A and B are shown apart, each in its own frame.
Chain A
Amino acid sequence: MIPPPFEYYAPRSIDEAVGLLHRFEGDAKVLAGGHSLLPLMKLRLARPRALVDIQRIPSLAYLREEGAHLRIGATTRTSELLESPILRQSYPILTDAAAEIADPLVRNMGTVGGNLCHGDPGNDLPACLLALGAEVEVAGPGSSRILRLSDFYRDTFVTALEPTELLVGVRVPRARLGQGNAYHKLEKRTGDFAIAGVAANLVLDGSGRIGTAGIALTGVGPTAILAEAAAAVLVGRSPDEDQIAHAARLASDSAQPASDLRGSVEYKRAMVRFLTRQVLERALARAGRAV
């Protein structure tokens, strides 16, 4: 299968890219790694008049701690997440996710920006970054803005991005002492979409109580889901098995799974409960606190 014809542009700057998106008035798509967009174009589910290839913009490829944030640029490849010593050391949830995204070959092309902007509820990075409390940096014609990732997803494949806007990067609060996080998903086979996935991020205070908690779900709703009630029940508590089981039940309640070939609604809810317990225990162990 070959994609339908398109005009191709390879801008060298963010301004040039946004200018092109503006010029095509919504009839251009941003091309990063292409591993979500090109399959859609092959199937004629997307027929943009132009592709704006952002791979050649040097200022979009970065991964660094800076001030109060970890910042990751839109064209950072999934394989670069997996190989990053900073992530392995301080943000292991992102190493977990990178290791479970598709397969090693796809990870050599797929990008952080593409994973976030595609808006597929089966993608893994949205839940992880929601759990971390991420914000996205967006450039538009003549202006730029910062949005909370929790305000970014509107529906399946629908985000808050205007057609003339470019996601420049994502930032999360810099790792703190007492922080631990983890991600895991169930999949039937390599490269398949998740049956369910759960991301958890915890920050313990000096007395061992949970100061901050974030839990988010992959593949069990129209978008990645921030399980706010599950996280809220943990905050201010010293985590024990009962608390974790309670949070897992609430996370399962917040899932909105559909019955399909990957499992029934009941099965997926049960898996969310199981995975939530598992990633919370792993996050606590990584925070230096076993239950």
Chain B
Amino acid sequence: MTAASRRTASTESSVGGGGPLVRVELIVNGAAVSAEVETRTLLVHFLREVLGLTGTHIGCDTSGCGACTVLLDGRPVKSCTVLAVQAQGGQVRTVEGLEANGTLSPVQEAFLEAHGLQCGFCTPGMMMTATALLAKHPHPTETEIREAIRGNLCRCTGYVNIVKAIQLADRKMHPSGPSESA
């Protein structure tokens, strides 16, 4: 089933199981979506299973690892611990919403060029947190970058190249800013 046709899915979705239902209406990556789901449906399952947006990963499922990070009204949150209905009426941005018209976002380009990943499992969440950081706070110091990604665990890289990728993304997004020693 395509993502588009699944947008009208309701009780037959795999997240339906006979409990009370609620209609959830969101703007996801700029498009209005609406589906009737169980009240207990988590935002990550709404995105992955109802909308077919599987770029958002499920890691620990206990709000520890940050693999499921998406932006809710511009702020990064762990979508495994947010009910879809808590996001009601809100703007959600996922990793699928980073590229525009086939062009990678500066954060995606930077993770590619600076080798900001190894296995890639944490990468969607890491890039969403980086996107929110750089939108709100251009030219972060290395300490500020490390503080921002404290809730996103990576078990491969040791974070060195992730931090470098975020610094590179900052230079791409804000070329007139201070040098990398900032």
- CB-CB under 8 A from A6, the residues of chain B are 19-20, 39-40
Checking A5, A39, A105 against B151 with a beta-carbon cut-off of 8 angstroms, the contacting residue is A105
| CB contact under 8 A between A7 and B81, given known A106-B63, A108-B75, A108-B76 | no
| Chain A 190-223 interface 0/1 with B at a Cβ cutoff of 8 Å (1 = within) | 1100000000000000000000000000000000
- CB-CB under 8 A from A109, the residues of chain B are 77-78, 81-82
| Assembled-state Cα–Cα distance A185/B38 (Å) | 39
Interface size class of B (residues with CB under 8 A): 35 or more
| CB contact under 8 A between A34 and B61, given known A105-B69, A105-B77 | no
Asked whether, in the complex, the Cβ of B40 is within 8 Å of the Cβ of A2, the reply is: yes
- CB-CB under 8 A from A42, the residues of chain B are 61-62
| Assembled-state Cα–Cα distance A53/B82 (Å) | 12
- Complex: chain B residue closest to A5, CB-CB: B19
Which residues between 19 and 50 of chain B lie within 8 Å of chain A, taking CB atoms?
A: 19-20, 22, 38-42, 45
Checking A4, A34, A51, A104 against B81 with a beta-carbon cut-off of 8 angstroms, the contacting residue is A34
- CB-CB under 8 A from B40, the residues of chain A are 2-6
| Assembled-state Cα–Cα distance A103/B62 (Å) | 13
Which of B83-91, B97-105, B174-182 makes up part of the contact surface? Answer: B83-91
Asked whether, in the complex, the Cβ of B39 is within 8 Å of the Cβ of A105, the reply is: no
| Assembled-state Cα–Cα distance A38/B72 (Å) | 18
- CB-CB under 8 A from A35, the residues of chain B are 63, 81
- CB-CB under 8 A from B42, the residues of chain A are 2-3, 38
Checking A31, A34, A39, A103 against B150 with a beta-carbon cut-off of 8 angstroms, the contacting residue is A103
Asked whether, in the complex, the Cβ of B151 is within 8 Å of the Cβ of A102, the reply is: yes
Is the C-beta of A55 less than 8 angstroms from some C-beta in chain B?
A: yes
Is the C-beta of B12 less than 8 angstroms from some C-beta in chain A?
A: no
- Complex: chain B residue closest to A105, CB-CB: B151
Give the distance to chain B from A33, nearest Cβ to Cβ, in Å. 8
| Assembled-state Cα–Cα distance A115/B56 (Å) | 27
Is the C-beta of A261 less than 8 angstroms from some C-beta in chain B?
A: no
| CB contact under 8 A between A104 and B147, given known A3-B40, A39-B81, A79-B75 | yes
Interface size class of A (residues with CB under 8 A): 20 to 34
- Complex: chain A residue closest to B58, CB-CB: A1
| CB contact under 8 A between A8 and B39, given known A34-B86, A105-B76 | yes
| CB contact under 8 A between A104 and B18, given known A6-B39, A35-B81, A39-B63 | no
- CB-CB under 8 A from A108, the residues of chain B are 72, 75-77
Is the C-beta of B152 less than 8 angstroms from some C-beta in chain A?
A: yes
Asked whether, in the complex, the Cβ of A53 is within 8 Å of the Cβ of B76, the reply is: no
Give the distance to chain A from B174, nearest Cβ to Cβ, in Å. 21
Asked whether, in the complex, the Cβ of A103 is within 8 Å of the Cβ of B151, the reply is: yes
Is the C-beta of A265 less than 8 angstroms from some C-beta in chain B?
A: no
Which residues between 145 and 166 of chain B lie within 8 Å of chain A, taking CB atoms?
A: 147-148, 150-152
| CB contact under 8 A between A5 and B150, given known A106-B78, A109-B77 | no
A-binding residues in B (CB < 8 A): 15, 17-20, 22, 38-42, 45, 61-64, 66, 69, 72, 75-78, 81-83, 85-86, 88, 129, 147-148, 150-152
Would you mind naming 18 contact pairs between A and B with Cβ atoms under 8 Å apart?
A1-B62, A2-B15, A2-B45, A5-B19, A5-B40, A6-B19, A7-B20, A34-B82, A38-B81, A39-B62, A103-B150, A104-B129, A105-B78, A106-B78, A108-B77, A109-B77, A109-B81, A190-B151
Task: Give 15 A-B pairs besides A34-B81, A109-B78, A109-B82 with Cβ atoms closer than 8 angstroms.
Answer: A3-B42, A5-B17, A5-B20, A6-B40, A8-B22, A8-B83, A10-B88, A39-B81, A42-B61, A79-B75, A102-B151, A106-B151, A108-B72, A109-B77, A190-B150
